[in-house]
Amino acid sequence: MKIGVVGTGYVGLVAAACFAENGNEVVGVDIDEAKIQALREGRIPIYEPGLAEIVVHNVGEGRLRFTTDIDDAVRQSDILFIAVGTPQDEDGSADLQYVLKAAEQIGDAMNGPKIVVNKSTVPVGTAAKVKATIESRTKHAVSVVSNPEFLKEGAAIDDFLKPDRVVIETSDPATEAAMRELYEPFVRSGKPILCMDNVSAELTKYASNAMLALRISFMNEIANLCDATGADVESVRRGVASDSRIGGAFLYPGLGYGGSCFPKDVKAIEHTSREFGAPMEIVAAVERVNARQKTIMLPRIEKALGGLSGKKVAVWGVAFKPRTDDIREAPALFLIEGLLAKGAAVSAFDPKAMDHAKRVLPPAVHWAKNAYETLSGADALLLATEWNEFREPDFAKVRSLMRRPVIFDGRNIYNPKTVRAHGFEYVGIGRR
């Protein structure tokens, strides 16, 4: 199939690369000329495992190209995906200006019937707005489909190529057949293609992310209760996760969730619920719990060190999760700013996200060349992102470099007994 993808950000670039990987002719469109030129040269603007290899391979094979000319992309494509940003407005709602601008441009350039697919995360009613926008600018027939993405940063390629499910909306049999044909190669393992109405498809994405965010926040509250009662959250977690009705996914306590999806989507669905007169009290509570969780370790560090003024804290990890360079809403950012505000010196390291973090954090942060360099003369080590390379450090070396052997494990990746056996004071989230 001939496919156009409007927007070469995280979702758009992954989608374009994966569609090309399955043999389709794909053109990615973006207004950013520098980004397009970089992509043509095989330089990828984001870190996502496996993405660069797929982009370079398919560009080389001639199945994937990039352009700033949306008119050409529209004319050359049978199916057009809108994968532009939907930033959050001050009231928590999704800003649709980029989605509707893309719809206008598609409508202006149409040279025949097209299928237009909303891949961006959008609120209820967006498909109707996109369809109306396009139809106001063309006489050609257009079918608008909602097709939300369910990608996890750090595993996006596998998630796209081998999805748990594909959600599409269309009331037109011919459009449904075309979308099924496009996605059939991705679901040969038997995973479902779920067809539903537009409103349900749009709400499914928000509902999925809100549910996952709820599980994380619930487990964080259980961990805090464990701290108060003396229970061990890892024992509790295993006990809960062993229930087949619950399972273990997204039940790991820590410093709270961040990234581009959960914070924005939780706020968006909560805004939608209020807009339609069906307020979601649980979702509103999830947002409050997460905001609190991001800073919960700060007073513990301050108490353990007898104040923070003049103290040095080493921070391992600034990305919101491992296997990505995304720092949006990352708990580490809140903690580092809090440490600096209380007079602490901060030395930090992250395998992939430091360049982004340098742009938003104060210049007082010392950025180390590796994890061990952060530790020289440190009064405490704060583990903020669970990168694999942090999981089994040389604890003897860590202790020898630090002024005071204290580890604050914000992701519960260390065994408290093991850490204490090496002579450290250990503070986790709900661990004992």
Q: Which residues are catalytic?
A: 261
180 contacts 115 by C-beta, under 8 angstroms? no
- DSSP one-letter code for 88: B
The pairing of strands 166-169 and 142-146 is unpaired
- 42 torsion bin: left (phi>0), alpha (psi -120 to 50), beta (else): left
Q: For residue 291, what is the enclosing H or E element?
A: helix 281-293
Axis crossing angle, helix 10-21 with helix 51-61, rounded to the nearest 10: 50
Nearest CA among 429, 431, 425, 428 for reference residue 306: 425
Per DSSP, the three-state class of 123 is: coil
198/343 Cα distance (integer angstroms): 52
3-state secondary structure of 147: coil
Give the HSE-up count for residue 274: Cα atoms under 13 Å, Cβ half-sphere: 12
How far apart, in whole angstroms, are the C-alpha atoms of residue 178 and residue 201? 17
At 90 the three-state DSSP class reads: coil
The CB density around residue 118, as the number of other CB atoms within 10 Å, is 27
What DSSP line would sit under 324-355, residue for residue? ----TT-HHHHHHHHHHHTT-EEEEE-TTTHH
